[in-house]
Amino acid sequence: YEFGDAFQVDLQTTVKNAAGAIHTDFERHFRKAKVMAWDHFIACKNLDDAESSMKIVSEDHAIGDGDVLIVAHGADNSKKGGG
């Protein structure tokens, strides 16, 4: 696996608010999230296999203990470098 970063949020935080814990633009430009329990995630062969099995949830879905998220957002990342 090539993992991204891990962010800790309180239980029952919405996926949209959890996206904001990563970056405020992710919350502001939230599109959707995919969710899977950690134990199911690590049993997958690779990230593509895991992602194809993830459940797409609404922005008000509450985070559960051990949930893994993939967040889709519309934030513009072309402004890197302090411009």
> Using one digit for the tens of pLDDT, what is the confidence trace for 15-68?
999 999 989 999 999 999 999 999 999 999 998 999 999 999 999 999 999 999
Q: Which residues contact 30 (CB under 8 A, 6 or more apart)?
A: 15, 16, 19, 59, 71, 72, 73
Question: Mean pLDDT across the stretch 63-74?
Answer: 92
DSSP string across 40-74: HHHHSSSHHHHHHHPEEE-TTPBP-TTEEEEEEE-
Task: Give the residue, 2 or 5, on which the prediction is more confident.
Answer: 5
pTM of the model: 0.78
What's the rounded Cα separation, in Å, for the pair 31 and 75?
Answer: 10
Residue 5 has pLDDT above 90, yes or no: no
